[in-house]
Chain A
Amino acid sequence: MHLDHTPGNGGTHTHTPPAPAVPGSRPLRIGIGGPVGSGKTALVAALCRVLADRFSLAVVTNDIYTTEDADFLRAAGVLAADRIAAVQTGCCPHTAVRDDISGNLDAVEDLAAAHPDLDLVIIESGGDNLTMTFSRGLADVQMFVIDVSGGDKVPRKGGPGVTRSDLLVINKTDIAPQIGADLAVMDRDAARMRPGTPVAFLSLRESPGADVVTAWVLDQITAWQAGTAVPVAAPTPLSSTAGSAAG
């Protein structure tokens, strides 16, 4: 053992973590997370259809197994096949976008190298639970997609996905009457769980272009490319989030 030597970088060791990306210096990365079946892939497809004419886009999918989501996007023809990459997540979709983002970073870097003009990379997580969030090292901004079929209680259950995302999307509102989900309750609870951050109600059946989400994405791209700060969810301690949920 070399107990007597100075560690590798000889006293110049820095405690500064890698600097965050300068807005505009590379493609904007938007994370889209949410539970299984909440409509993430359909939303990604809708965004691609609307945005692909105006921006250079790429998508990274994180399927739990297979390459189902990537295959769906390729089959939908919303993007060229070489603009879609699939990351395998070893049974841990949240790990791949939060705790160990290396596979996703590799995919993003490879897409950026193959398409130097990229404006936007959409990173879709595998379906997970309400605690899933994207690392800020991977996604500059993130949305969390839930749907009404889980019942109108989901927003008030909280969890970092609901409380910490930059945009909460409540999807499939067209089937709320059949489910018996009260959208007003979801709206009220969501506002209480994530004060000051936006919530979007969406029905891709009624709005195939996902207008409300598209508008938010366009705002993010504009801010990123202008080099202005992108809104980031306030780093609220989880304990105080839980407190506000109770209150």
Chain B
Amino acid sequence: MGAGLLLLGDSRLPAGGYAHSGGLENAVLRGEVHDLDTLTEFLLGKLYGTGAVQAAFAAVAALTAGPYTMPEVAPWAELDAELDARTAAAPARAASRAQGRSLRRVAKAAWPTEPWAALGVSPHHAIVLGAAATRARLDEREAAVLAATNVVNGPASAAVKLLSFDPISVTVVLAEMAGHCDQVAEEAADAARTVFADGDWERLPCWSSVGLDVCAELHVHEEVVHFAS
């Protein structure tokens, strides 16, 4: 592990993450999340569902970007389409692309000689994250760790703001999550290596969380919201 992991994993990275709750706000509005136990259940469900997919795509993006100069020609469009197909709710796709656009802006400023345009103007967040991870000298497993932790840290931070939870108690929850994040990342990286070897992108993990899709769809119709997703 290097400092690059902390750079890209820092919640203060100016890439728009603070404005998204990853479905948590809507789960709070529906009464699904109201205490630390229900927060823990929410985070576990999210991590082992969409989190596993995000981690696998970050890992395969890291393998695609490679450890040296990023390739000019790469299957970014294919990966983009595959992740689109795994993100059922349109607002969730929009949230992923909004954060991907912001992260790409940061990556382009930090590593200006790389061909970031090839990823598209608003690429999915996990794909940019994986590519950026390689520029920060990280490998595919570490890219997956970034994606997995991102999936739980954002909602946990939103929970502190929306439900006035004790931030230390929420950190205890996140400490319990860390092992799960490592496990998800490990499996995601394994899957990504297998798929990357033969380019059969369809075999990338395709878990989903129906409840989160519902939250994402309902959120855009709420009158009073604090978070963009």
Contact = CB atoms under 8 A, between A and B. Distances in A.
Interface stretch (B8-16, B173-181, B188-196): B8-16
A90 B15 contact: no
Contact of A106 (B101, B113, B137): B101
A3 B142 CA distance: 13
A14 B228 contact: no
B228 A100 contact: no
Interface in B174-229: 223-228
B114 A8 contact: yes
A70 interface: no
A7 B16 CA distance: 25
B15 A100 contact: yes
B15 A102 contact: yes
A154 interface: no
A6 B101 CA distance: 26
Interface stretch (A91-99, A201-209, A230-238): A91-99
Given A65-B225, A66-B223, A88-B227, A2 B139 contact: yes
A17 interface: yes
The 4 closest A-B pairs by CB, nearest first: A102-B102, A8-B135, A90-B19, A100-B14
Contact of B134 (A8, A64, A65, A88): A8
B19 A89 contact: yes
B112 A106 contact: no
A10 interface: yes
B219 to A, nearest CB: 10
A105 interface: yes
Interface string A55-74: 00000000011100000000
Given A89-B19, A90-B158, A9 B227 contact: no
Given A8-B69, A100-B14, A91 B161 contact: yes
B144 to A, nearest CB: 13
Interface string B12-29: 111111111100000000
> By CB atoms of chain A within 10 A, which of B18, B113, B139 has the most?
B18
Interface in A77-95: 87-92, 95
Contacts of A12: 113
Contacts of B101: 102, 106
Nearest to A18: B109
Contacts of A54: none
Interface in A14-43: 14, 17-18
A18 B113 CA distance: 13
B105 A105 contact: yes
Given A8-B70, A65-B226, A91-B226, A106 B139 contact: no
A89 B137 CA distance: 31
